[in-house]
Structure 1
Amino acid sequence: MKLNIVPAKTGVQWFKLGIRTFFKKPIALLGLFFMFMAAMSVLSLVPVLGNVLALALLPGATLGLMAATREASQSKFPMPKVLLSGFSAGRQQLKAMLVLGLLYAAGFLLVLAISATVDGGKFAHLYLFGGSMTTDTVLAGDFQGAVMLAMVLYMPLSLLFWHAPALVHWHGVSPVKSLFFSMVACVRNFWAFTVYSLVWLGAFLAMGMVVAIIAGLTGSPELVSGFIFPAAMVMAAMFFTSIYFTFQDCFLDDTGEAA
């Protein structure tokens, strides 16, 4: 397994491959994404423990979506069991994936703990225990500061785990080493990931503009509210489909081929 350095324009290619592959098997990939979201949502209904468990399972579940993308890119129809790929590849890899999940959960909880120093734990409490989010709470300066700090701190955590599940699953890399290699790959391919992020940001903003135009032309808030959620879910499914290609191009196997 070798690190591959790609040009900035590869970020656009990742975006295109994600959309192109999604439309090869749209029903399957969208269905698997909904199953992924539903499982995380159901777990999150249980205060604290459910949220922590969802965090711990997230790396393995994300690997399942990457495995589904890999099958779709080969013109195969990904079945629901592919979502469990990260947990069904043998005892050693199962243990490694669970360790990776615990590290992710610990890292995310640390982010919440640090954000609590800004707002006294209001944002962390809302995430872990749920509850209603009032306008006064959202507009409070300390709450907004905690959210912004959490977003900033989450960025390096995201880079550490971006490639880690795939490295553990397909290359047998240990959890700690996978975090190091993932961060190095993201940093060394900084411009490709920057372009990739900006293109996806532009795509989501464009979707929002389309929704705003529809709202203006129809004057129907009900129509817009009924359209925006499924449209956002389709966009999110396409985004998750594109993640596999960032891994594929960032790492080469020992023969020099894409991972």
Structure 2
Amino acid sequence: MKLNIVPARTGVLWVRTGLQTFAKRPLAFVSLFFFFMALVSIASQVPLMGTAIALMLLPTMTLGLMAATAEAARAGAGAKPPAAAVFLAALQAARTGFRPMLVLGVLYAVLFMLVMGISALADGGQFAKVYLMGGTVSREMAEAGDFQAALWIAMLLYLPLSLAFWHAPALVHWHGVPPAKSLFFSFVACFKNFGALFVFGLVWVGVFIGSGIVLSLIATLFAAVAGEGAGAAAGALMLGGAMVMAAMFFTSTWFTFRDSFLD
């Protein structure tokens, strides 16, 4: 395994290739994303340990979606892989290497909770409670200086954590790298290719904003035509659109790993 340094413009290629791969089997990728999100949601309902268990599942979810993308990408340009093969690739990746992925999940949960704990020092835990338990944010709370400070602290600390776990599940699965080392290698790879990842993120922000505007216009038009009772349908449309966009995003992450490491 060798680190590969790519130019910043590769970030655009990652997004485009991810969208093209998603287009091969959109229903399979969306269904797979919904399946993993349902597992995370169910796990979060477990008393006392639900949040921690849900966090532990996230690296495995990422790996499953990356494995599905790798399977679809093998079909070649324009070819459509069997939907069953996409699903099986994801599930097989999720169940193999159980112990190292469990360790990686525990590390993610512990480090994420540490980030939330540090942010709680600024506002007494209000932001952490809202983020982890889904509480309501009032206008007064959002405008409070200590709440905003906690938000910025969490964002700044989560960035290096995100970079450390960006390639880690794939490194553990495809290269057999131990969990702790995978975090180091992932962070170094992201740091070395930060330009491409920055462009990747910037393009995705544009895609999300553009898609959000289109979905908002469709929802507004639908509400105007349907009249009363259309609010719930419009909300479902926005939520469904957001989930589809998230599935597209995760599809493209495989290519950031594929091009950052050479066998």
Aligned positions of 1:53-202 closer than 5 A? 53-75=53-75, 76=81, 77=83, 78-89=85-96, 93-202=97-206
Cα distance per residue 1:95-122 (max 9 Å; x no partner): 2111111111111011000100111011
Residues paired across the two proteins, number: 250
Q: 1:177 to 1:20 in 2, by over 3 A?
A: same
Q: Is the 8 A contact 1:48 1:129 kept in 2?
A: no
Residue 117 of structure 1 aligns to which amino acid in structure 2?
L
Q: Normalized against structure 2, the TM-score is what?
A: 0.88
Give the Cα separation in 2 of the matches to 1:204 and 1:130.
23
- Matched to 1:62, the amino acid is T
Counterpart code for 1:88? R
Q: Is the 8 A contact 1:21 1:69 kept in 2?
A: yes
The RMSD of aligned alpha carbons is 2.0
Higher mean alpha-carbon deviation, 39-48 vs 242-251, is at 39-48
Which portions of structure 1, spanning 4 or more consecutive aligned residues, are displaced by more than 6 angstroms? Answer: none
Residues 226-235 or 104-113, more deviating: 226-235
Separation in 1 of the partners of 2:133 and 2:249? 28
Structure 2 spans left out of the alignment, 5+ residues: 76-80, 225-229
Paired residues of 1:6 and 1:249 also in contact (CA < 8 A): yes
> Does structure 1 conserve the Cα–Cα contact (< 8 Å) formed by 2:123 and 2:146?
yes
For each residue in 1:181-234, what CA deviation from the matched residue of structure 2 results, as whole angstroms up to 9, or x when unmatched?
101111111111111000000001111222344466566472642321111111
1:206 counterpart = 2:233: no
- Aligned match of 2:255 in 213, 223, 245? 245
Aligned mates of 1:215, 1:95 — CA distance in 2 = 45
Percent identity, please. 55
C-alpha deviation, 1:62, in angstroms: 0.8
Which region of structure 1 is more displaced relative to structure 2, 127-136 or 70-79?
127-136
How far apart in 2 are the matches of 1:37 and 1:116? 27
Q: 1:231 aligns with which of 241, 247, 250?
A: 241
Confirm or deny: 8 A CA contact 1:47 1:129 kept in the other structure. Answer: no
User: Partner of 1:101: helix, strand, or coil?
Assistant: helix
In structure 1, stretches of 5+ residues that fail to align are: 254-259
